[in-house]
Amino acid sequence: MSDEPHSTLALDDTVHQRARLGILTILQETGTADFSYLKSTLQLTDGNLGRHIEVLAGGGLVQVKKGYEGRRPRTWVTITKAGRGALSAEMQALKALVARFEQATPPTVGPAASPPPPGIRST
């Protein structure tokens, strides 16, 4: 066992949630995206997407701009410098977690393996 903290401790709950991670990765690629593009790409409802954008904006990870395109109201979402940094840190944490997983040796199965914890029956 290592004295280093487990890789999962570096995951950021604000960024790591599936929809928010999707929003940030799309914005990392595009810089700015409109609400309808994010909604269709991530297959979210208006309310669900709106709430996730609100959480990200509250954390300073995205900036929201409302306006009109012609007569149609539009909402654009842009990733901030802090958002890029948070996404980068999240990706590094995920890479560390994958590396830990790939380096792990599966437990031995058979007579040399540890007995199962109490209450767990082995097959």
DSSP string computed for the chain: --SSPPGGGG--HHHHSHHHHHHHHHHHHHSEEEHHHHHHHHT--HHHHHHHHHHHHHTTSEEEEEEEETTEEEEEEEE-HHHHHHHHHHHHHHHHHHHHHHHPPPPP-STTSPPPPTT----
Any domain includes 36: yes
Any domain includes 86: yes
Confidence grade of residue 7 (pLDDT, cut at 50, 70, 90): confident
pLDDT at position 15 is 87
CATH number, domain at 20? 1.10.10.10
- Asked if residue 114 has pLDDT above 70, the reply is no
pLDDT tens digits, one per residue of 20-44: 999 999 999 999 999 999 999 999 9
Count of domains for the chain: 1
- Asked if residue 113 has pLDDT above 70, the reply is no
Any domain includes 110: no
Range of the domain at 22: 7-97
Indicate the average pLDDT of the chain: 88
Between 120 and 59, the more confident residue is 59
